[in-house]
Structure 1
Amino acid sequence: MSEVDFMSVLHKSTNRDYLGRVNDPIYPKEKAAELAKRWGFDYWDGDRRICYGGYQYIEGRWEKVARQMSSYFKLPKHPKILDIGCGKGYLLYDWLKVIPDAEVHGLDISSYAIEHAKEEVKDNIKLGNATKLPWKDNYFDLVISINTLHCLYSYELEKALKEIERVGNNYKYICVESYRNEKEKANLLYWQLTCEAFHTPKEWLWWFENTGYTGDHSFIYFE
C-alpha cells in the first residue's frame, strides 16, 4: 500500500474563499450543505455556491488523470475498471480514450448524475452505495474511488473499504479529503459540503489497515 498522488493537479487549480462559503448571504454553509446532500440538480448543475455550479465535460481534464494511472498501474490487456462515486462518468469516458478496449463500470448514489451522464458510458453506470457493490469477488483489475469515501459515516466506511477490497483483484486507489494541522482542518470544515469522515492521514491509514484495504491512496488538503 503506497501513497501516490494523481489529483493535486486538479485540486490545486481551484481558488477558494473559505470564509465566503461559510458566510454567503444567500447560500450560507449549512444551507448549501443541506442542498448538496440531496445529490440532485443543485449539487451538480445549480449555483456554484452549492457545489459544482454546472458539472460539464472538459476535454482532457480527466484524461490526464487516466493516463497517469495507466502508466502507474500495470494493467492487463482488456482491463476491467470500476470507478466508485463516478458522477457523470467523465473519468470513465476518458479511460476509454487511454485504453479503448477497457471494460469500464461506474457506481454513484446520484440518480440525477446518472441521468445526465456522458452518453457513451451511461449504460455502464449503476445506481448504488459503496457499502454494497453489485459485482462478484475479484472482478476488477483496478478499482478507484476519488473524493467519495469521506462522504460516508464510520459505520458505512468500514463496509465500503471491505467491498473495494473484495471486488478488486489487483490494483485499488482511493483519494479522500484530510488535514495535517489546525489550519487545514478549519479550511476543510469551512469548505466541505458533504464530508462526514474527518480524519488525519494517520487515522485514514488506521481505517485502511483495520479493514484489510491493500490498495494505494492519496489525500487532498485545503492549505
Structure 2
Amino acid sequence: MQEDIFIRQKQFFFDIWAKFYDFTLTTVFYQAIHTRLLDYINLPSSPLILDLGCGTGKLLNRLAEKFSDLKGIGADLSPEMLTKARLANTHHPRLIFVRADAHDLPFANNQFDAVFNTISFLHYLQPEKVFQEVARVLKKGGYFYLADYLGNNQMKKIFFTPGGIRFYDQVQRQKLASQAGLITVDHQYILGGVVLTIFQRP
C-alpha cells in the first residue's frame, strides 16, 4: 500500500514537471552529464539498451546518434514525460518509449546489453529491488551505468519530491550491486558532484 501511494505521488510530480522539464537549467545540466557519460560507455555491435527513468528521451536520442546500429527502450513512470519523449523521438523505430516502474520492470530476463540510469536512482523507494531488476534484465557481460549525485555522510535524504530523495556513496552502491549479483567496475566523477558508477553482470 505504501509503495502504491509513493508511486502515484512520484508520477504526479513528474507529470507536472514534464510540462517545462526541457526548458529548465536542471535539464541543461543533465544534458551535459549525458555528453560526459558517452566517454565511458562500452557497447557491443547492434546493442539493445534500456534507459531507466528516461524522462523526455534526451539520452537515448544522443546514444542513437552516436551508435547507428543501436536499438533502445526508454522507460519512465510518468506518462507525460513519455509523451514528450515520443514527440521528440528522431530515431523511431529504433527507439521506443514505454511506461514502467523501476521496481518491477516489464522486460524479459537477459534482454539488454546495457542499462542506463541518470539522475533517477535518488528517487527510488526500494533501491535494492531496482538493482535486482536491472541485474535480471541485463545479459551476461552487460553493463549498468548509474550516474547520480554522490551526496555526503550528512545528507542522505532530502524532502524535495514526494518521498524525498536519497543519496548513495560508492560503498553503498557497491553493496547494492553485490547483493544483486553485479560486479562494480569503476567510479568516475563526471560533472558537478555527479559520479558515474559502472557495474557488470558476470
Q: So what's the TM-score if we normalise by structure 1?
A: 0.64
Match of 2:97 among 113, 116, 125: 125
Cα displacement string for residues 83-127 of structure 1 (whole angstroms, at most 9, x for unaligned residues): 100101111111111011111111001111111111335760110
Tell me which amino acid in the other structure corresponds to 2:89: E
RMSD (Å) for aligned C-alpha atoms: 3.5
Aligned residue in 1 for 2:122: 150
Aligned residue in 2 for 1:44: 18
Which protein shows a greater Rg?
A: 1
Match of 1:162 among 132, 155, 166: 132
Contact 1:78/1:103 (<8 A) preserved: yes
5+ residue gaps, structure 1, are 1-33
Aligned residue in 1 for 2:80: 112
Cα displacement string for residues 142-192 of structure 1 (whole angstroms, at most 9, x for unaligned residues): 111111122111xx222110110111111111123332354xx29x748x5
Structure 1 residue ranges, 4+ long, deviating more than 6 angstroms after superposition: 54-58
Structure with greater contact order relative to length (CA < 8 Å, sep ≥ 6):
1
Aligned residue in 2 for 1:21: none
Following superposition, the deviation at residue 215 of structure 1 comes to 5.2
Q: So what's the TM-score if we normalise by structure 2?
A: 0.70
5+ residue gaps, structure 2, are 1-8, 195-202
- Paired residues for 1:17-166 under 5 Å: 38-41=13-16, 43-46=17-20, 53=24, 61=32, 64-65=35-36, 67-69=38-40, 72-73=41-42, 75-117=43-85, 118-120=88-90, 124-153=96-125, 156-166=126-136
Greater per-residue strand proportion: 2
Tell me which amino acid in the other structure corresponds to 2:39: Q
Structure 1 pair 215/100, CA: closer, same or farther in 2 (3 Å)? farther
Aligned residue in 1 for 2:165: 196
Cα displacement string for residues 2-29 of structure 1 (whole angstroms, at most 9, x for unaligned residues): xxxxxxxxxxxxxxxxxxxxxxxxxxxx
CA distance in 2, matches of 1:129, 1:159: 11
